[in-house]
Structure 1
Amino acid sequence: MKNGQPLGAIRVDAAGIGSLAGLAGAALHFAGALKSTPPGAALPVDLTLLAAALLPPLLAVLLLTRRWWLHGALALPLAGAALLWLWLVLAGVWSRSAVILPQKLPEIVLVAPPMLVAGMLLGADASARRWLVRATLGAGPLVAASVAWGLATGNIVLGGMVGAQPDLLRVQYQLAGLAIACAAGLGAVRIVEAPAWPSRLFWSAYTLGLAAAALLPGGRMGLISLGLSVLLTPALRCWSAGRTGLALRWSLAAALAAMLGAGLLLLQFQAMEGLRTLERFTEGGMEASARPALWRAALDWAGAALPLGLGTGGFTIAAGHGERRGLYPHNHALEAFAEGGPLGLVLWLCCFGGGAVLLLLRARHAAPARVAQIAALVLPVGLAAMVSTDLGNRMVWFALGLALSTGMVAKRVA
């Protein structure tokens, strides 16, 4: 016997389990972007499947080795999510889709709930959250460097496969933009948290480097979400700590820096050559995008299909696009409204709107660093949900879980 334990006994370290869970969660969350990097493409197994296999047992151990406290404000968003999943299953009964429906329903029913729970557990546990943040800070530069290298050589690796379908490149730069934006938001938070100037300079260079990298892939929303995340999450960190003046100064300084940077790029028009993101901004903006037409169609069909909606997966058929899932409404609220009717919209507002409200309400009660980290991870994905992705996207449900985790407390069992 030694220290009360039999010789040869293996002690499972609870903090280590949390760290591994955080790493696995980050790998699953950003798998789409990481598979576009050379290390991700070189893996002998699919990163998504690998992370999905590792995460559940780690979360199970995490559940058993922590004491959990849940705030009462979690009731509304959790009930909204559960009822939304149930309603979308029922709405599949009157859907006209024979292709999109069997693809989308398993993602909503089988993938979304575990991703929501994973986000809640990883966001609430300190060690898991710490390594989720660290992994994101590492993934951002890796993805940025891989995109730059791929564009320079004309060989972007998508999903671990060379020469993948050209149509999927749009998804690649969107996922890359999300990974870069989340990392940049976390880097900006580190600037205001840094105790000395050398650390502040390092994290400033880190954030500026990611901002420059976001100009390359072509994802306009990625660049916008990066800018908003850098502007808002450090300010939220300061406001959460009761430093309102510093929050205002940061917001003004960040906004001024962004305007100066944009002005310099526009003055040097030739420098924009090769910066695909800026080129897409000058190619007609929203007028050249299909999103306004899809949003109008979603509103029109939502009104025409009252009170039950078109049924899960039924929008593209009603809008005249056939069974083309890529032409979904590109807005989660409009998708829930068009396919689930008014009840679908109300339930969506309960879970996602309730998650956003909970995060803001808990901002003055939870640890400021925790609030800012969660906000940096959630904001880019939340913005993407309003202009892209559909309700089957696992990243959105994981981000919702992270937002809801601010209403939870996890403490290790002694």
Structure 2
Amino acid sequence: MGPPGQGSRGAAPLAAGAGLLAATLHFAGALKSVPGLAALPIDLTLLAALLLLPVLGLLLLARAWEVRPALAGPLLAAALLLLWLVLAGGWSASRAVLAEKLPQLVLLGPAMLLAGVLVGADGPTLRRFSAAVILIGLTVGAATAWGLLTGQVVLGGAVGADPAKLRVQYQLAGLAIACAAGLAALRAMEARGAVRLGWVLVTLALALAVLLPGGRAALLGLLLAVAGAPAVLLCLRGRPGAALAWLTLAAALGLAGLVALRSMPGADLGLRTLERLFGDPATATPARLILWGEALRWGGLAAPFGLGTGAFTLAAGSGDARALHPHNHALEALAEGGLPGLLLWGAAFGGGVAVALREARRVAPGRVARIAALTLPIALTTMVSTDLGNRMVWFGLGLLLSLAVEARPRGAAEGRRPYV
């Protein structure tokens, strides 16, 4: 077998393919808002999954894998959580939501978790994945701007009129833009000279693009990623003072930018996120607070085993429809899975965060910072928007857990420093 460098060069196309396909699968929901991709004769999610599966199999064979014991706890908790939610479907009153949600949990959840672990553990694949996410964020931002400009926002293949689909469209588009902006800010921190200026401009372009789709959580996720990922990089490089200064600067610039845009007459008419951020009546109770209150109430009434998977909307009086789920994973696990569901959710996802924090100083700072940029917006979305059936959340958990896994070219010297 040749030297490690030669093996790494030979595996470059494999890493590039895995990174691009994984990014496409992860953000397929956002890419479906791009006009050309929306017209594909096959669903983009299915196409990306079918192509990614054999590539990840080859990646498994091409690398030597080191798995640390810290991975066992969260993986066991995740498996038990899925098993419990399957059992909880037995006493659920739902039929429509259960039939839609349960296959996503049982089939897509574990597959996306494993994909996240493999992508995050292999340095070259993670770099290609990150580059693809930046490209996806720019593409989605440009497509959203064009759609709003021409009045033809495309929603997963249909131009028109379903408000629920429109809401999902701007949420997914905003999430893709937020993750891309965090990665671009990280590249700006790593670059030098004119290249740094180029990445700063890309970050600013993405920050402007996130104001178009109308998602407030996406805006907050972008600010969190742009501030947090470079700060993680600086901290792990032994510069906590610089990390604190960057956090302060990013917060100040973000606030100043919002104030400046708010003061411009008519700005919120073209930037739908500003309209949603500042335009809601101050006396109105946010819908999320109502849903959170209902989830807490039914979590108590249905204790200790919960309402059953997918049954929250029926209990809350919203019918057997998925749109008005609790919009918070912890409350969803409590209301539908009871105390066992909440404890297992905390052990799986809280355990993933604990593993990431514990292993962060054992791997390359750039790798940790990239995973932070990719997971911070998703973590926010987990607590304010999506439900447990969302595959992106499980992929994000896999990225966190990947910090306890190391992939090296076969034949590489033992003890070699993990690559970024």
Normalising by the residue count of structure 2, what TM-score does the alignment of the two structures yield? 0.93
Name the residue aligned to 2:194. Answer: 198
Match of 1:77 among 50, 74, 78: 74
Name the residue aligned to 1:293. Answer: 290
Could you say what secondary structure the match of 1:327 adopts? coil
2:416 aligned with 1:408: no
Q: Write the mapping of 1:252-291 to structure 2, written as runs, cut at 5 A.
A: 252-282=248-278, 283-284=280-281, 287-291=284-288
Deviations 1:155-205 (A, max 9, x none): 0111133335333110000000000000000011111111x2211211111
Q: Number of residues paired by the alignment?
A: 404
Deviations 1:10-37 (A, max 9, x none): xx94332222111110000000111111
Normalising by the residue count of structure 1, what TM-score does the alignment of the two structures yield? 0.94
Q: State the Cα distance separating 1:288 from its structure 2 match.
A: 4.6
Alpha carbons 1:238, 1:246 under 8 Å: kept: yes
Could you say what secondary structure the match of 2:408 adopts? strand
Alpha carbons 2:56, 2:118 under 8 Å: kept: yes
Deviations 1:337-371 (A, max 9, x none): 01111110010001111111222222222111100
Alpha carbons 1:123, 1:405 under 8 Å: kept: yes
Could you say what secondary structure the match of 2:154 adopts? coil
2:31 aligned with 1:34: yes
Separation in structure 1 between the aligned mates of residue 132 and residue 141 of structure 2, nearest angstrom: 14
Residue type of the alignment partner of 2:262:
L
Separation in structure 2 between the aligned mates of residue 321 and residue 54 of structure 1, nearest angstrom: 38
Name the residue aligned to 1:304. Answer: 301
Report the more deviating stretch, 149-158 or 260-269: 260-269
Could you say what secondary structure the match of 2:406 adopts? strand
Name the residue aligned to 1:208. Answer: 204
Could you say what secondary structure the match of 1:297 adopts? helix
Name the residue aligned to 2:375. Answer: 378
Separation in structure 2 between the aligned mates of residue 289 and residue 210 of structure 1, nearest angstrom: 27
Q: State the Cα distance separating 1:41 from its structure 2 match.
A: 2.2
Could you say what secondary structure the match of 1:409 adopts? strand
Could you say what secondary structure the match of 1:325 adopts? coil
Stretches of structure 2 lacking an aligned partner (at least 5 in a row) = 3-8, 412-420
Residue type of the alignment partner of 1:234:
P
2:386 aligned with 1:389: yes
Separation in structure 2 between the aligned mates of residue 353 and residue 145 of structure 1, nearest angstrom: 35
Alpha carbons 1:157, 1:164 under 8 Å: kept: no
Alpha carbons 1:104, 1:313 under 8 Å: kept: yes
Q: State the Cα distance separating 1:47 from its structure 2 match.
A: 1.3
Alpha carbons 2:164, 2:323 under 8 Å: kept: no
Name the residue aligned to 2:6. Answer: none
Percentage of identical aligned residues? 56
Report the more deviating stretch, 245-254 or 338-347: 245-254
Could you say what secondary structure the match of 1:312 adopts? coil
Separation in structure 2 between the aligned mates of residue 197 and residue 270 of structure 1, nearest angstrom: 37
Separation in structure 1 between the aligned mates of residue 10 and residue 273 of structure 2, nearest angstrom: 45
Q: Write the mapping of 1:139-218 to structure 2, written as runs, cut at 5 A.
A: 139-163=136-160, 165-194=162-191, 196-218=192-214
Could you say what secondary structure the match of 2:366 adopts? helix
Q: State the Cα distance separating 1:322 from its structure 2 match.
A: 1.5
Name the residue aligned to 2:229. Answer: 233
Residue type of the alignment partner of 2:291:
L
Alpha carbons 2:262, 2:274 under 8 Å: kept: no
Name the residue aligned to 1:9. Answer: none
Could you say what secondary structure the match of 1:410 adopts? strand
2:236 aligned with 1:222: no
2:362 aligned with 1:368: no
Separation in structure 2 between the aligned mates of residue 124 and residue 286 of structure 1, nearest angstrom: 48
Name the residue aligned to 1:358. Answer: 355
Aligned-residue Cα RMSD (Å) equals: 1.6
Q: Cα 1:37–1:285, aligned 2, differ >3 Å: closer, same or farther?
A: farther
Separation in structure 1 between the aligned mates of residue 253 and residue 289 of structure 2, nearest angstrom: 30
Stretches of structure 1 lacking an aligned partner (at least 5 in a row) = 5-11
